[in-house]
Structure formats: structure tokens, C-alpha cells
Amino acid sequence: MPSGLARLGRNLARVVGTGAAVGAACVAYGSLLERNAFTVREEAVPVLPAGSGPLRVLHLSDIHFVPGQNIKTRWLRGLAGLKPDLVVNTGDNLSHPDAIAPLLDALGPLLEVPGVFVPGSNDYYAPTFKNPASYLLGPSRMTGKEPQELDTARLHSGFGAAGWLDLTNRAGSMTLQGLRLDFTGVDDPHLRREKYAGWPAGGAKAAQSPQVKIAVAHAPYQRVLDRFTDDGAQLIFAGHTHGGQLCVPGYGALVSNCDLPTWRAKGLTRWEHGGRSSWLEVSGGIGTSRFAPVRFACRPEAVLLTLTPA
């Protein structure tokens, strides 16, 4: 081989080798360290009527619990120390058929706080092995194999026994600190199971009292956000995106796993449609897919939203 070609080959091998080593280091960091580097993002949202005191809302999403996740369990149990007034759980709690009991145990202190919930696809079906690279190829789909069904009813009865409000294609209300909160929620739009339920019927007396309209869904597909906003939602909670899960430092998410623009894959933004607008809070999620247990430049998070007077 001419010496020029040989040199080119050696340089190429060196570049490929360095790239592989950097890639392996990133995977090791993302799977061993960042995946368990739990954090709490704090936001303030001006949606309450004038004169109201602040309300602290803890948003949990995409816990993807697997038995034996002791670091995650300890962190979840400690979240009650934030003293939230309300917990909003936007689904994908499970990633294993035996996860329900240890998950409910990990959430025990938070189940003593008023809460609302909707399911995600991973609360219905156990995860199946997929090529982790498929995460970067657009919204995930069910594989051809028959997925293993999970005991969703048992999970939801655990939440319901604690008094959490099931918003699966349902509406409901609760009063906190003298303020009526109206909720509407849908089943997971990623599975196209959503059926919009509208707002709770209130009657004349309720219509006169101050109210806040809050909508909840697992996957923030645009058709669902538009529907909520058209109908006057002031604040929308969603998860599902994992914040992109594998992000580029200084750039952000490469995918949202739905049709939400990637720059909205995590955080508090305004959603506008038909001349109306809502606050949109998308959680970056607490867990990962069981078969792609890596996070990069996207720490697992719970979100503490302080609702304040508008």
C-alpha cells in the first residue's frame, strides 16, 4: 500500500477508535451516573385568582419503576419533604410486571397528599426489548409481538385508595385552601385512547366561586393540547417526552417521542391555539425506558410548580 494511503488508514482508525471510546464513556456516564442524578425543577405559574395564597404542585411523570431501584425509591420518598399541596402524576409509572407494590411503597408519603393521575402506555403494557437507537427515530410504536398486559387496575386502585382523583377520560374537582380546582384528563394519546370529557359540571353556586382549570395528559400530542386550550384550560400538565432523554449540551432534545416540537420537550411554555393560550408544563421525567437506561444532558426530574395569582 502506498505510504500516503497507509497513513490515511491509520488516522481513520485512530479517529474511529477515539469516537468509540468517547461514545462508550458517554454511555457509561449516562447509565451509571446521570440516570440517578435526580433533581427538582422549580417553576412559578400565575394562574390563580387575585388574592389567593400560593399553591405548591408537585408534578411526577415517567417514573418507569423497576423493583430494586433503591436510589430512586429513597428520592421519591423524600419528595414529601417539599410539602406539596397537590401531586399531579402524568403516568408511565411502571416498567416491570412486579413494580406495582414497591412503587406504591415508594410513593407512600406522597399518597397522603391530595393528587390526580392519568396513565401512560407503560402503565398498561410491560416494555419489550427494542434497539435503543430506535429512540432517535421518531415516536415509538408497539412491536408486532403481543405485549404483556400489566395490572393497571391494581395500580389505579392503589392511587384511588389514597384519594387521588382518576382523570382517565374524566373530569373532577377538588377544593384546596378554599379554591376550587377543576380538572379534566385523558387516557394516553400515544395509544390514541383519549376521549375528551370536558370540565366538571359545577352548577350556579360553583360557577360564581373562583376556579382554576387544569388539564392533564400523558403524551402531549398537539391535537390534545389544542383541544384543552380551545376549551379554556389555564394550565396543562404532560410527560412522556423524557425531555428528550439523550440531549445535546447547549442544544437540547433531539426527539420528543410525539409531534411536540423538540424545544418544548421539557419545561414551562405557552401553548396557543385559536386565539387562546394555556400554560404548558412538560416534565422531563424521572425514569428511562427499561431497555435504554441512559440519560445524557437531561437529568431525571420532578417539578415543583408554585401557582400564584395572575
Applying CB under 5 A, the residues found at the interface with Fe ion are: 62, 92
Separation CA 300–CA 36 (nearest Å): 7
* Least Å from the CB of residue 17 to Fe ion: 35
**Nearer to Fe ion among residue 58 and residue 181 (C-beta):** 58
- DSSP secondary structure letters along 171-235: EEEEEETTEEEEEEE-S-GGGT------SPP-HHHHHHS-EEEEEE-SS--HHHHHHHHHTT-SE
**Nearer to Fe ion among residue 58 and residue 286 (C-beta):** 286
Yes or no: say if 145 and 128 are a contact pair by the CB < 8 Å rule. yes
Q: Which of 112, 62, 116 is nearest to 87 (CA)?
A: 116
**Nearer to Fe ion among residue 212 and residue 236 (C-beta):** 236
* Least Å from the CB of residue 245 to Fe ion: 9
* Least Å from the CB of residue 236 to Fe ion: 17
Q: Taking the alpha carbons of 131, 132, 138, 139 in that order, is the dihedral positive or negative?
A: positive
Yes or no: say if 127 and 95 are a contact pair by the CB < 8 Å rule. yes
**Nearer to Fe ion among residue 92 and residue 188 (C-beta):** 92
**Nearer to Fe ion among residue 179 and residue 258 (C-beta):** 258
Q: Which of 242, 282, 278 is nearest to 95 (CA)?
A: 242
Separation CA 54–CA 215 (nearest Å): 19
Q: How far apart are the first and last CA of the chain?
A: 74
* Least Å from the CB of residue 267 to Fe ion: 17
Helix (H, G, I), strand (E, B) or coil at 161: helix
**Nearer to Fe ion among residue 85 and residue 92 (C-beta):** 92
* Least Å from the CB of residue 291 to Fe ion: 12
* Least Å from the CB of residue 90 to Fe ion: 9
